[in-house]
Amino acid sequence: MILTRHCVKDCCSTQFPVVHCRPVIAVAADKATTKQMELRVGGRFRLGRKIGSGSFGDIYLGQNIVTQEEVAIKLECVKTKHPQLHIESRLYKLMSGGVGIPQVKWCGYEGEYNVMVMELLGPSLEDLFNFCSRKFTLKTVLLLADQMLSRIEYIHSKDFIHRDIKPDNFLMGLGKKGNLVYIIDFGLAKKYRCSRTHTHIPYRENKNLTGTARYASVNTHLGIEQSRRDDIESLGYVLMYFNRGTLPWQGLKAATKRQKYDKISEKKMGTPVEELCAGHPVCCLPPEAFATYLKYCKSLGFEEQPDYSHLRQLFRNLFHRQGFTYDYVFDWNLLKTAKRVQPSVQSQQIPQSRMMIEQ
């Protein structure tokens, strides 16, 4: 049975290629097996298996039926209470051209779904962390820190803050770009200043927590409007998560989500930076650079621009003192047995992850 819709609406026709064809949904039934469906979006992208979930939609493996290129396809129900996919696609367009920003191939809607077709990337840093038995060497953490800081700086240069910095939202590239860190998921991003005048958004309090509590800044827990300082503080917690294997405020139990957030906030504020960055059973590292980083983040004013170069230099100096080489060989590259990375079942956002680990 072939079902044909009359048209496909391109939500960003001035930004992405317009497809002047009738999209087709082909449904093939096999009496001996479960009914299978071949779905096409945008006229030329075949929808495959589900590979994860983003903050506001599901992610599928797809393929360009003309070029055979594999892609990631993100779907969001048009009836969702707060549609975000079209907004996110516009942000990807705004960010396009930046290093480590995925390319959007097409966006529009099909039937009951908003659709965004994107460049297929490799596994997330959370997936790779699990692949490496939840232990990263100091060298790998420092290599990642350098690139992750640059991605955040670029987003800030485009007048937006990400507001959900976490390992799941950083992916490695594929093939020749296998050593490049990408940043994804702008579903919670917010404009923090006017592009023309650079007027900053006003300071506010009593805000609900936006993002992921584990990595949220202290000020975010306190209900203060987020700004650039909060993104880089969140990155500091991500780096310590990689260094330690776990954070002191993980695994806390509570009856409600609000109570759990409160417990995380209390533990986070009650853990001195020196203690967080000090020796840990699963890591032996010089704590000074990471402690200096977090103290700097906490010292920033609401509207203050972080000194990204200074922060990168902190980690580069430590990198050189340790005698490491910028060969972009990460821990997962050193694993002798290549195996497919399977997304973590704990991950709330398992992005387009289908990479074979390459030696």
SS3 call for 48: strand
Structure token digits, residue 334: 């050193």
The total number of structural domains that make up the chain:
2
> Which residues fall within 8 angstroms of residue 225, CB to CB, at 6 or more apart?
201, 202, 203, 204, 205, 207, 302
C-alpha count within 13 angstroms, C-beta hemisphere, residue 85: 29
Residues 193 and 76 in one domain: no
Tens-digit pLDDT profile for residues 200-211: 999 999 999 999
93 and 186 share one domain: no
**pLDDT value at 2 more than 80:** no
Of 119, 134, 151, the residue at which a domain comes to its end is: 119
3-class state of residue 314 by DSSP? helix
Residue 55 — pLDDT band, cuts 50, 70, 90? low
Given a contact cutoff of 8 angstroms between Cβ atoms, the answer to whether 37 and 28 are in contact is yes
Residue 180 Cα to chain centre, angstroms: 14
Distance of CA 221 to the CA centre of its chain: 20
pLDDT of residue 338: 45
Q: Does residue 195 surpass a pLDDT of 60?
A: yes
Pair (113, 242) in one structural domain: no
Average pLDDT over residues 27-37: 38
Tell me what pLDDT residue 18 has: 33
Average pLDDT along the chain:
84
Report yes or no: 188 and 181 within 8 Å, Cβ to Cβ.
Answer: no
Percent of all residues in the chain with a pLDDT value above 70, rounded to a whole number:
80
Out of 13-17, 18-22, 276-280, least confident range:
18-22
Whether residues 115 and 127 share a domain: the answer is: no
Distance CA(243)–CA(287), nearest Å, equals 10
Q: Which domain holds residue 93?
A: 49-62+70-119
State yes or no: pLDDT of 137 exceeds 70. Answer: yes
* Residues 250 and 267 placed together within one structural domain of the fold: yes
192 within some domain: yes
Are 233 and 190 in a shared domain? yes
Q: What is the CATH number of the domain that holds 113?
A: 3.30.200.20
What is the mean predicted confidence (pLDDT) over 153-171? 98
The predicted pLDDT at position 340 comes to 52
Q: Are residues 196 and 92 in the same domain?
A: no
CA distance 41 to 61: 12
- pLDDT of residue 342 exceeding 90, the answer is no
- Indicate if the pLDDT at residue 1 is higher than 60: no
The verdict on 205 and 321 lying in the same domain is: yes
Tens-digit pLDDT profile for residues 80-122: 888 889 889 999 999 999 999 999 999 998 989 999 999 999 9
Residue 172 near residue 178, CB atoms below 8 Å: yes
Q: What is the pLDDT of residue 279?
A: 61
C-beta contacts of 129-133 below 8 A and 24+ residues apart: 129/167, 129/242, 130/344, 131/332, 131/335, 131/341, 131/357, 132/331, 132/332, 132/335
Does the pLDDT at position 25 exceed 80? no
Half-sphere exposure of 160 (CA within 13 A, CB side): 22
341 pLDDT more than 60: no
Of 301, 148, 293, 158, which Cα lies nearest the Cα of 227? 301
Q: Is residue 113 part of a domain?
A: yes
Distance CA 318, CA 44 (A): 48
Burial of residue 321 (CB within 10 Å: 0-12, 13-18, 19+) is exposed
Angle at 200 between CA 199 and CA 204, to 5 degrees: 140
pLDDT for 83 equals: 87
The answer to whether 74 is annotated as binding is yes
The answer, yes or no, to whether residue 189 has pLDDT greater than 90, is yes
Q: Give the residue numbers annotated as catalytic, written as ranges.
A: 164
Same domain, 251 and 191: yes
221, 268 Cβ separation under 8 angstroms: yes
- Is 272 among the domain residues? yes
- pLDDT over 90 for what percent of the chain? 72
CB atoms within 10 A of CB 115: 29
Pairwise pLDDT comparison (238 vs 348), residue with the higher score: 238
Q: Is residue 135 part of a domain?
A: yes
User: Is the pLDDT assigned to residue 331 strictly greater than 50?
Assistant: yes
Written as six digits, the tokens of 98 are: 């930046």
pLDDT of residue 124 exceeding 90: yes
The residue among 287 and 143 whose pLDDT is bigger is 143
Region for 269 from its dihedrals, namely left if φ exceeds 0, alpha if ψ lies in -120 to 50, beta otherwise: alpha
